[in-house]
Structure 1
């Protein structure tokens, strides 16, 4: 029979042994050292100056003093002396200095790493349950990289399931983002945790956005919504949205197209009616706006009008270098055509202005005592005409007067010499008046 146990090396009592209490006490002493093992420190090499009864140290390498030659041993201070026990591989102890469980691996004491695979649940700062098997209660949770990037993965079993992040307040859900019952990414919100609104959905195939946060159509003016391509004519490469009513005052600012049958088209000037074109709306506030219109297949011509004090103003043409010259016209005393009109006929030259002014000129190169002149463009009346004439002669001055038959369409001129006798001479004449 051996004298010591195989694992803890406890001394056995032997038959007919004298002073058996000594052997028994030695076994108890050894049990007191290794059972429920607590170490003051691990890796120790210098004995403490003041040791307490029952203190046990896990020695490292290079032990000195009373520990010299005992590297790797357990050093226990008992009965004012150091007692040494060799630890066995797998022995566990509580490291009081490191505040952790350690294990002897055959060469040194290392922190005990628990087996974390296939755990039923983990609660950090709180209790986990059957549904929330990982629960964390803390001011923050950090997920960091291990040298490069980092991904947080939320996986679901099938397309009809949910893989999302739910944001709660007082345990009531108010926002959720992820794959909620489908494979398109969505963001939805709730005021009460029961009724949910899908604010945004991103299609997995196209990446296009839909949802209550996006316009229902390109004319949707609901406040707070994201604009679609083509909204109110912005970014459109094809036909813009047709304006519902040209005379409406609540149409949102933007660019629209119109056709000849669009409501309100009968308010257009003649150049815009029975045509297709684009109308642009600009606003300064709810009741003050401006419309600008241009017509398809009409190289020159832009018209504009404003809405102010509850009523639409008249359409007015915008002039540029291509439209300032042309045929001058009017309606009701208001210009409706070009700004300046210039013409030449066999009866001379004329210039008409949009304000109603007209100037006619002619040079009679043949010497005569009477010159009949039909104006190249008619005036509104003879009373509106101011006539200026000058006769040319090489040797003596000549006077040119009208014969008294001035009309809106012409005049007869008389040439006189200094003696008041009819004389022949060329004449230069200018008539200024109004054409309307």
Structure 2
């Protein structure tokens, strides 16, 4: 809806105008204010109550009442949750320009989004849930860090409480257009215990005692 226009005012008479002409012109001026200008002002007020003077594209075509908006239109935004195309469709939505939801990228999430494909290179940075059944080293949590397209670092932590040291197992791997192998981080719980290896790589403790 375009902004209503205003018609031109009648010519304002001067004091030097002949009396008969002066009266006619003043009458026309008062008539314009009382009828024409009043109607145009009411039309303009109605426009402001039901439309925005902001260019439509800037509001994504949304109509907003400036004077008497729809009931709870602004209070709902203040007290409730944002929604619509400007907000992520899900915590894993990586579309540019979207407002983040709670849990976006796994942050503040009780259950992070699941990353099912261990071979997927362009995974957005974030925190994910992983499962051994999908080909990951174990069931657990993955921290995905990115340098650029196809390059980054993944840190996987076992999420199982089975076995004494299972929950403290952490693996790391990097990608440079392809993933390298997993490297297990050695910490205090791996130093002393049963020494073991698989395909030449240690899978047990570093030192065996006894």
TM-score (norm 2): 0.66
CA distance in 1, matches of 2:57, 2:178: 47
**Distance change (3 Å), C-alpha of 1:291 and 1:133:** closer
Bigger Rg over Cα: 1
**Distance change (3 Å), C-alpha of 1:178 and 1:185:** farther
Contact 2:114-2:128 within 8 A present in 1 as well: yes
The answer to whether the aligner puts 1:131 opposite 2:17 as a matched pair is no
Q: Which residue of 2 aligns with 1:264?
A: 135
Counterparts of residues 62-101 of structure 1 (less than 5 Å): none
Equivalent position to 2:147, from 263, 279, 284: 284
Q: Which residue of 2 aligns with 1:341?
A: 208
State the Cα distance separating 1:331 from its structure 2 match.
2.3
CA distance in 1, matches of 2:116, 2:84: 25
**Distance change (3 Å), C-alpha of 1:130 and 1:278:** same
SS at match of 2:105: helix
Counterparts of residues 380-391 of structure 1 (less than 5 Å): none
The answer to whether the aligner puts 1:294 opposite 2:157 as a matched pair is yes
> Could you list the per-position Cα deviations for residues 45-78 of structure 1 after superposition, in whole angstroms to 9, with x for gaps in the alignment?
xxxxxxxxxxxxxxxxxxxxxxxxxxxxxxxxxx
Contact 1:122-1:134 within 8 A present in 2 as well: no
CA distance in 1, matches of 2:38, 2:192: 87
CA distance in 2, matches of 1:122, 1:134: 12
SS at match of 2:86: coil
Say which structure, 1 or 2, has more relative contact order (CA 8 Å, 6+ apart).
2
**Distance change (3 Å), C-alpha of 1:217 and 1:329:** same
> Could you list the per-position Cα deviations for residues 192-213 of structure 1 after superposition, in whole angstroms to 9, with x for gaps in the alignment?
xxxxxxxxxx845852111222
Contact 1:247-1:264 within 8 A present in 2 as well: no
Q: Which residue of 2 aligns with 1:219?
A: 92
Contact 1:325-1:339 within 8 A present in 2 as well: yes
- What are structure 2's unaligned runs of at least 5 residues? 1-13, 17-29
Q: How many residues align?
A: 171
Query: Which structure has the highest helix share of the two?
Result: 2
Q: Which residue of 1 aligns with 2:58?
A: 175
> Could you list the per-position Cα deviations for residues 373-410 of structure 1 after superposition, in whole angstroms to 9, with x for gaps in the alignment?
xxxxxxxxxxxxxxxxxxxxxxxxxxxxxxxxxxxxxx
Equivalent position to 1:242, from 98, 103, 114: 114
> Could you list the per-position Cα deviations for residues 223-279 of structure 1 after superposition, in whole angstroms to 9, with x for gaps in the alignment?
11111100110121x211111312211221111112343x333xx2xxx2xxx3111
Q: Which residue of 2 aligns with 1:166?
A: 53
TM-score (norm 1): 0.34
CA distance in 1, matches of 2:117, 2:147: 20
> Could you list the per-position Cα deviations for residues 167-191 of structure 1 after superposition, in whole angstroms to 9, with x for gaps in the alignment?
13xxxx43346359965648xxxxx
Q: Which residue of 1 aligns with 2:20?
A: none
